A and B are shown apart, each in its own frame.
Chain A
Amino acid sequence: MLQVDSVVKSFDDFKAVNGANLAVGKSEIVAVIGPNGAGKTTLFNLITGALKRDRGRIIFKDEDISELPPYEICKKGISRSYQIVNIFPRLTVFRNVQVAVLSQQRRSNQLFQPAKNMVVKETSNLLESVGLLDKAQSVAGSLSHGDQKILEIAIALGNEPELLILDEPTAGMSPEETSATMELIKRLAQMRGLTILFCEHDMEIVFSIAQSIMVMHQGRTLIQGKPEEVRNNPFVQEAYLGVE
């Protein structure tokens, strides 16, 4: 479904992404791993259009999306969450998600009907499925960090994406929260038939849920393959898995 072909992105002289390749099939769960500064977040920013690539191609559903602005890419069916919480802190939890649902239904420009009664059901269902319904009327900025990360995912789901990109969905969470969140992600993927692309530092999580793993190092793709293949790759073992 998503195909990234030798993509390059430099900031001044620094090559943040230098020849990344990635293939994501429909309904797959794909993980990107690599040390800090390997270019994982930059790669996600390139796929979602937040940054423009210098060279290479990004193909989504047989269409080159590398020149499109972020909002167009979103409309094609790619949604994302962020590593650092990126929500609408002054709005209520409900409105955070509602804005995304309204955008999905192309109703963001309606001027004179009250938004209060629009897409209430869709938004509530979504909040229920991630377990935030009881906090719907709280101001988003007042939630705990863990809940904000969940809200982050809920906003992304508001766009009914086919491909959901999660940038370290459990960053800063306690171990309990982390496992609950991963369960949630697995469940959502099954329920909605989502394709998921994520990156994560916790190797245990990665190997337990990813069907395919891509390893990045200094902006380059080292290998992409099934978990066993990656686990048995000598370089990966040496660099990340700490196996002698």
Chain B
Amino acid sequence: MIRSKWFGPSIVIFLILFILPSFIPRFYTYILALIFVTSLLAMSLNLVVGHGGLFQFHHGVFYGVGAYTVALMLKKTSLPMWTGFIAGPIVAAMMGLIIGWLCVRLSRLYFGMLQISLGSLIWVIVFRWYSFTGGDDGIPGIPMPSLLSSSKNSYYFILIILAICLILMYMILKSPFGSTLQAIRDNPQRCEAIGINVRRHQLIAIVIATFFAGIAGVLFVALERSVFTDLLFWTLSLEIFIMCLLGGWFTFAGPILGAAIMVALRTFVGIFTEYWTLILGIMLILIIFFLPEGVMGYLEKIFKRRTREEAGGGNR
């Protein structure tokens, strides 16, 4: 399967996270689960932003669509509950296909602008269509399968799905598809010249990323049992974009770190002041100036330098 130097440490972290809920208060379990959901969302965005070089400015929409799909199916239909959980990512990916199909025709910034417009359109529909989506009231009190009845069970569910998704994403990035996607990020013009259909490749990447965003949306519902229109609002998209930058968008796990920082800031600084974004802003400015590759990018660089020095010292 996967051979990587990160394999061992990842297993250890996973096991620690697995036993942790037995020792910490419920509130922290909840915060951790929220970090997991947000991490998955940020990771899915980074597939196209960090590794694909696309200005996916309104990724939150696909998260919201995934969440609303499962919420509406659980609330309004009597279909088996698991169908809702599967439908969430699929509908999100279909939305990704439609919006992506339109957007990949444009380059760089125009791609992002069109996506913000189309995404906002979906937000408006959800926001205004009271009879179907509940408008700005959202949908509270979504029934859950008995398996997810306790918050501890939801935590485990979210953790396991996150782990599976991370493994899949890792495999995708290391595959020929992922290599080619990174080559397109570096130089789309050259990729066309070596026989790669750049637009189609980017579109597939968007569909994959929106699928994972849809999964994150489903996990959000499993955690919160409610949905609201903020999930599709563009400020959330901006936040997850910042998470990628903060954590390090050219690294694999950077967005997880970014998501953890953001959620922690909002939760713990948010207790003291409602201006927690002020602190975020200052942090962001500092990071852009001093750690342009993000926190994880910086750590990786130090790590690499140290191993190189050790190797060099050993030779002498």
Binding site for B on A (CB under 8 A): 48-50, 69-71, 74-75, 79-80, 82, 86-91, 95-96, 98-100, 102-104, 107-116, 118, 155-156, 158-159
Q: Are A74 and B177 in contact (CB under 8 A)?
A: no
Does B175 have its Cβ within 8 Å of any Cβ on chain A? yes
Q: Are B193 and A115 in contact (CB under 8 A)?
A: no
Mask of B114-136 contacts with A, CB within 8 angstroms, 1/0: 00000000000000000000000
Q: Are B180 and A112 in contact (CB under 8 A)?
A: no
Output the nearest chain A residue to B200 by Cβ-Cβ distance. Answer: A109
Given contacts A112-B172, A115-B174, A116-B174, contact A87 B179 (CB under 8 A): no
Binding site for A on B (CB under 8 A): 2, 168, 171-172, 174-180, 182-183, 185-187, 189-198, 201, 204, 250
Which of the listed residues B176, B190, B191 has the most CB atoms from chain A within 10 Å of its own CB? B176
Q: Are B190 and A87 in contact (CB under 8 A)?
A: yes
14 further A-B contacts with Cβ under 8 Å, apart from A50-B189, A103-B180, are A74-B194, A79-B194, A99-B179, A99-B191, A102-B180, A103-B195, A104-B195, A108-B180, A110-B177, A112-B175, A114-B171, A115-B179, A118-B176, A156-B193
Residues of chain A lying within 8 A (CB to CB) of residue B172: 111-112
Q: Are B176 and A102 in contact (CB under 8 A)?
A: yes
Q: How many Å from the CB of B76 to the closest CB on chain A?
A: 34
What are 29 inter-chain pairs, A to B, with CB distance below 8 A? A70-B193, A71-B195, A74-B192, A82-B190, A87-B190, A88-B182, A89-B186, A91-B182, A91-B186, A96-B183, A99-B191, A99-B194, A100-B194, A108-B176, A108-B180, A109-B177, A109-B201, A110-B175, A111-B171, A111-B175, A111-B177, A112-B171, A112-B172, A113-B176, A115-B176, A115-B179, A116-B174, A118-B176, A159-B195
Q: How many Å from the CB of B255 to the closest CB on chain A?
A: 18
Residues of chain B lying within 8 A (CB to CB) of residue A118: 176
10 nearest A-B residue pairs (beta carbon): A74-B195, A70-B192, A88-B186, A100-B194, A99-B183, A108-B180, A103-B195, A115-B176, A110-B176, A115-B179
Which of the listed residues A49, A111, A155, A156 has the most CB atoms from chain B within 10 Å of its own CB? A111
Q: Are B186 and A90 in contact (CB under 8 A)?
A: yes
Given contacts A69-B192, A79-B194, A103-B196, contact A86 B187 (CB under 8 A): yes
